[in-house]
Chains A and B, each alone.
Chain A
Amino acid sequence: MAQNNPLLARTQGLYRRRKLVDRLMTAAMIGAALAAVIPLFLILFYLLKEGLPGLSLDLITQEPNRPGREGGGVHNALIGSLIMVSMALAIGVPVAIGCGIFLSEFGQNRLGGYVRFVIEVMAGIPSITVGLFVYGLVVVNQGHFSAIAGSLALAIILVPIIARITEEMMLLVPRSVREASYALGAPRWRTVLRIVFPTALPGVLTGIMLALSRICGEAAPLLFTALGNQFYTTDITAPMDSLPRRIYLYATGPYDYWHEQAWAMSLILVTVILVISLSVRALFGSRVTVRQ
C-alpha cells in the first residue's frame, strides 16, 4: 500500500483551490489574447465595410469638390503624400545612415553614448511637437506653409528610426569581415562603404521600409507645416495636401460623403502600410528585433 506521505493528507481542499486558480488564470490569459486580437479584426472589418463602397476611380483621379458638393476625389492628397514622403526619405535617409554608420564605426565609446542618447530622445518626441518645431523654424521665417516644411518634419521623425537600425545592422556584420578587408590594406572608408555596409544593407532597407510605413500615416507633423490644400499642386513651396490630413479633415466634417471618403482613404492608407509591412516580412524575415 502506498507509504503514507503525511503531508498530502491535508491538501484536498487546497489542491482543488490551486487547480481552480490555475484554470481561472489560464482562462484569463486566453481571454486577454482574444481581447487583444478583436480590435484589429474590428478595425479591418469596418475599413472594408465602410471603405470599399467609397473606392472608385474618381476618388483617385479627381480633385475635391467644393465642400458640400458630393463626389470629387482626393487626387491631390494622394499625390501630395507621395511627394512629401519621397522628399522626406531623400532628406532623412542620408542623414540617418550617416549617423548610424558614425555610431557603429566611431561610436563605441562615451561620445557615441551621448549621440545614441540624443537619438533616443529624438525618437520620443511627440510628432506634433516636431511639427511645431519646423513651424517655428521654417514656416514662420518663410512666411508661408510649404510641402518642404512638411517633408522636413517627416524627415525628423524618420531619422532616429533608421539611424538606430543602421547602427544595429552594421554592428551585426562580423568583425572578421572587416578584419579581412583591413588585412588587405583597404582604407577605412572603402572597408565600410564597399564591404560592411552592403552586407548590412538588407537590414537597413528593412528599417527604411518600416520607417516609411510609419510616416505615410502621420498627420500631426503636417498640420502646421504643409497645412493642406484644397487643390492639386506639385509646387513644393506651397501648402500641400496629404492623405492622413485629409482623413482628419473629413472625419470631423459635417458631410456624409466626406465620412465615406474618409473611410475609403483610410482603407487605401492601411492597405499600403500592410503591403509594405508584409513585404518586409516576406523579404527579410520577422520583425526587426535585434539583440547584441
Chain B
Amino acid sequence: MAIGTAGRRAKERPSLNNRLKPGDWLFNALTGAGAAVVILVIIGVFYELAHEAWPSITANGASFVWSTDWNPSQNVYGVGAFIIGTMITSIFALIFATIIAVLVSLFLVEIAPSYIARPVSYLVELLAAIPSVVYGLWGIFVMGVFIRDHFGPVVVDYFSWVPFFDGTPLITGLFSACLILTIMILPTVMAVSRDVIAAVPRSQREGVLALGATRWEMIRMTVLPYARSGVLGASILGLARAVGETLAVTLVIGNSVKVPDNIFAPAYTMASVIANQFPEATDLHRSALIEVALILLLITFVINVIARLLVWKVTGGQRVVVQE
C-alpha cells in the first residue's frame, strides 16, 4: 500500500495554483466594499452639499464669506456674523479648556495618588458622555440662570473696562455658549494631554529634580516643553469639536443674526443658525444655509487635519484612539 502523499489520489492534494478560493474572494470583496462605502460617503457628502449649496454660491458670490448681512426676507445672505460667533465661542473654549485640561492633567499625573487620580479621571471622562441636548437643557435652566443672577454681574463688575465685556448678562447669549463649550470640550483635550504628559520619561524628571528643582520647576522645565506639541494637538482637536457643536449652542446662544457687540449679547454660530433656521427655510434661504454647512465642513476638516498631524507627531506616529 502506498504511504505518504505520493499515494494520495490527485484530486485530494491541496491545490497549489494561485487562484483565489471562493471564500477568499468573497472575503476580499466584502471588506473592500466596506472601505469603498466609506470613501463613497465622504465624496458624497462633499458633493451633495456643494450641489445643494450651488444656487446660493452663484447668487451670493464670494462676499458670502465675509458679509455680515443675513436677511432671508430680502434674500441677502452672508455668513460673516456666524463665523464671528463661531470664532469667539470656539476660541474662548479652546483657551480655557486647554488651560484647565493641562492643569488637571498635571494634577492627575504629578500630584494625585492613584486612589484620587482614577476616580477624578473617570469623572471628567463622563462629561464626554453627556449628550449635547442635555448640556443645552442644563445650560438654559441652571447655568444660564446662574450667569444672569450671579456670575455675569461679577464679570461685569470686574471686567467692564475691557471693550467687549460691557453688557447685561442674560440667560442666553455668547457668554453662556462660551462656558458650555468649554465644559464640553474639556474631556476631549484632557484625554490626549494626560497621556502626553504621563509619557514624559522619568529620566527627564529625575534629571532636573536632582539639581534641586521644586515640583513646579520640574514641570515647567521638562514636562511642559516635552508635552507641548501633543497638548497643542489635543487642544486643536477640542477646537474642531467646539466648532461643530450644534444643539447645546443653539439652546443657549440666543440666536440673533446681528453681530454681537458685547460678550453677553445673543448671537449665532454656523452650526446653530442651520439648526435654528433650516426647518422653516425655503429655496435660496435653504441653499444659503447649506452653503454655511459646506463652509463649516471645510473649516472642521482643516482643523482636524492639523490636529491629527500634531498628535501623531508627538506619539511617534502611533495611533491613539480617543473616545469622542
Residues of A within 8 A of B (CB): 18-19, 21-22, 25-26, 28-33, 35-37, 39-40, 42-43, 46-47, 50, 94-103, 105-107, 115, 118-130, 132-133, 136-137, 156, 159-161, 163-165, 168, 185, 187-190, 192-193, 210, 213-214, 216-220, 223-224, 244, 247-248, 251-252, 259, 262-263, 266, 269-270, 273-274, 277, 287-292
Q: Contacts A128-B271, A128-B275, A136-B51 known; A123 to B107 CB distance under 8 Å?
A: no
Closest B residue to A105 by beta carbon equals B31
Q: B38 within 8 Å of A by Cβ?
A: yes
Q: Contacts A210-B323, A248-B136, A291-B320 known; A273 to B45 CB distance under 8 Å?
A: no
With A50-B141, A126-B300 known, 20 other A-B pairs at CB within 8 A are A19-B214, A21-B214, A26-B216, A29-B110, A37-B120, A102-B35, A120-B305, A128-B274, A132-B290, A133-B44, A133-B45, A136-B290, A165-B321, A168-B319, A189-B23, A220-B271, A223-B278, A266-B138, A288-B321, A289-B195
Chain A residues near B215 (CB-CB < 8 A) = 22, 26
Q: Contacts A102-B31, A122-B42, A220-B246 known; A39 to B183 CB distance under 8 Å?
A: yes
Q: B240 within 8 Å of A by Cβ?
A: yes
**Cα–Cα, bound, A46→B130 (Å):** 13
**Cα–Cα, bound, A177→B132 (Å):** 42
**Cα–Cα, bound, A156→B39 (Å):** 12
Task: Give the distance to chain B from A123, nearest Cβ to Cβ, in Å.
Answer: 7
Closest B residue to A123 by beta carbon equals B324
Chain A residues near B23 (CB-CB < 8 A) = 187, 189-190
Task: Give the distance to chain A from B322, nearest Cβ to Cβ, in Å.
Answer: 7
Chain A residues near B110 (CB-CB < 8 A) = 29
- Which A-B residue pairs are the 6 nearest by beta carbons? A217-B131, A98-B34, A126-B244, A32-B103, A189-B27, A99-B34
Chain A residues near B308 (CB-CB < 8 A) = 120
Chain A residues near B87 (CB-CB < 8 A) = none
Q: Contacts A122-B42, A287-B323 known; A248 to B251 CB distance under 8 Å?
A: yes
Please state if A192 and B216 are interface contacts (CB–CB under 8 Å): no
**Cα–Cα, bound, A22→B219 (Å):** 10
Render B17-53 as a binary contact track against A, CB cut-off 8 A, 1 for contact: 0000101101110111111011101101100110110
Q: Contacts A32-B107, A126-B244 known; A270 to B37 CB distance under 8 Å?
A: no
**What is the number of contacts between chain A and chain B, taking CB atoms within 8 Å?**
270
Please state if A39 and B111 are interface contacts (CB–CB under 8 Å): no
Please state if A128 and B39 are interface contacts (CB–CB under 8 Å): no
Which of A107, A132, A190 is close to B274, meaning CB atoms less than 8 Å apart? A132
**Cα–Cα, bound, A32→B14 (Å):** 66
Chain B residues near A137 (CB-CB < 8 A) = 44, 48
Task: Give the distance to chain B from A78, nearest Cβ to Cβ, in Å.
Answer: 15
Task: Give the distance to chain A from B198, nearest Cβ to Cβ, in Å.
Answer: 11
Please state if A223 and B42 are interface contacts (CB–CB under 8 Å): no
Q: Contacts A37-B120, A220-B247, A273-B130 known; A119 to B38 CB distance under 8 Å?
A: yes
| 17 A/B residue pairs, CB under 8 Å, sorted by A | A25-B219, A26-B111, A30-B111, A37-B123, A115-B39, A120-B305, A126-B297, A128-B244, A128-B274, A129-B244, A129-B297, A136-B49, A213-B129, A220-B132, A270-B131, A274-B129, A291-B318
Closest B residue to A39 by beta carbon equals B183
